[in-house]
Every structure is written in C-alpha cells, then in structure tokens.
C-alpha cells in the first residue's frame, strides 16, 4: 500500500509593532504540526479508485490569542504559506470556525468560509480590542488525486500568521 504524506508545519510568527508605545503580541495557544497521511482508507471507492480529494484538520486546530496595547487599537492577522516542497496542484485553505471571546471582531472570509492560503499574505481576520482569545482556525488541503500527478513522497509548506497593528 502506498502512503502519501504531507507535513504542514504551522510556524508562529510574532510581530511586535512599536508605534507611540504601542505593542501587539500574537499568542499561539495551539499551533501544532499537521501531518497528513493518505492511504487506502482515503479511497473514494473500491481498489483502483482515486482518493477523496481533500483532508481537513480539526475545527479548532489553530488557536490564537492577541494582546494589543493601548486598548481599542485596530489590528489584523494575516496568513500566508512558504513552500518547502509543495506541488502547485495542492491547494491549502483556512477558515475561522467560531467567533472568539471579545467584541468587534470580523472573519474576513466569513465565519466557516474557506479562503485560499497562498504565498502572498492575506488578511484572515481583524478586530478592535486590547485582548482577545479563542481565534480558532481550521485548515483544509484539496487536490489530493492521482489524476493531478500525485506521487509518493513528502510535501511540505509552512503557514505564517502575522499580527499587524494599527491598520487603516
């Protein structure tokens, strides 16, 4: 049985912005590595079938918090990937799965709506508040198919989350 595995190392990137004694901390509560293995249990049908085509992490796989000084500062979190050995036919997506604890918060792609994570930083959420926790993110990989030219091997990309404050 052939085993295909992917490693998505979730890299925590802490960006500390100092502007008029302002600070911002992106706090990784849970930021684990996601190791995906694709094997016979992922077939869409009997032997000889292709794979289901996607894999999803747990809904709260990534759990972030944020701490901004002073209070009521606008902030945003961006997400991007840095490919290590990532074929172009595999697509990585992220979505916010629940509103975090705190007021004035928005998922840019909509709650429970996947947006593609590319090599260009994209804003995934934003808010106004000094502290917030429970920013939960689910990941999904699509394009897992023999028809795409998927071969046995290890594929990897690193996901970077960046906190920016203030933002216009």
Nearest to 17 by CA among 168, 166, 119, 132: 166
Q: Using one digit for the tens of pLDDT, what is the confidence trace for 46-96? A: 766 677 788 889 998 888 888 887 777 888 899 999 999 899 989 999 999
Q: What is the pLDDT of residue 168?
A: 66
Q: Among the ranges 18-22, 122-126, 140-144, 153-157, which has the highest mean pLDDT value?
A: 122-126
Q: Where are the beta strands (DSSP E) in 31-73?
A: 34-38, 54-56, 62-69
Q: What is the pLDDT of residue 36?
A: 79
Q: Using one digit for the tens of pLDDT, what is the confidence trace for 92-129? A: 999 998 777 666 888 998 888 999 999 999 999 988 87
Name 120's bridge partners. none
Nearest to 108 by CA among 141, 77, 140: 77
Q: What angle do CA 52, 56, 62 make, to 5 degrees?
A: 170
User: Which pLDDT band holds residue 37 (cuts at 50, 70, 90)?
Assistant: confident
Reported pTM: 0.79
User: Which pLDDT band holds residue 31 (cuts at 50, 70, 90)?
Assistant: low
């Amino acid at each position: 049985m052939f085993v295909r595995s992917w490693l998505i190392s979730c890299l925590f990137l802490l960006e500390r912005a100092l502007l008029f004694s302002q600070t911002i901390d992106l706090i990784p509560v849970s930021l684990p590595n996601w190791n995906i293995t694709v094997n016979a249990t992922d077939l869409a049908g009997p032997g000889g079938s292709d794979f289901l085509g996607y894999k999803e992490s747990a809904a709260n796989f990534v759990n972030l918090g944020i701490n901004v000084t002073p209070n009521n500062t606008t902030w945003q979190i961006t997400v991007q990937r840095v490919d290590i050995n990532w074929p172009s036919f595999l697509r990585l997506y992220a979505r916010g799965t629940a509103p975090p604890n705190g007021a004035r918060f928005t998922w840019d792609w909509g709650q429970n709506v996947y947006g593609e994570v590319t090599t260009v930083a994209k804003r995934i959420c934003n808010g106004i508040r000094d502290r917030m926790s429970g920013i939960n993110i689910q990941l999904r990989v699509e394009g897992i198919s023999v028809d795409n030219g998927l071969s046995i091997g290890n594929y990897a990309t690193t996901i970077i989350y960046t906190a920016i404050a203030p933002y216009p």
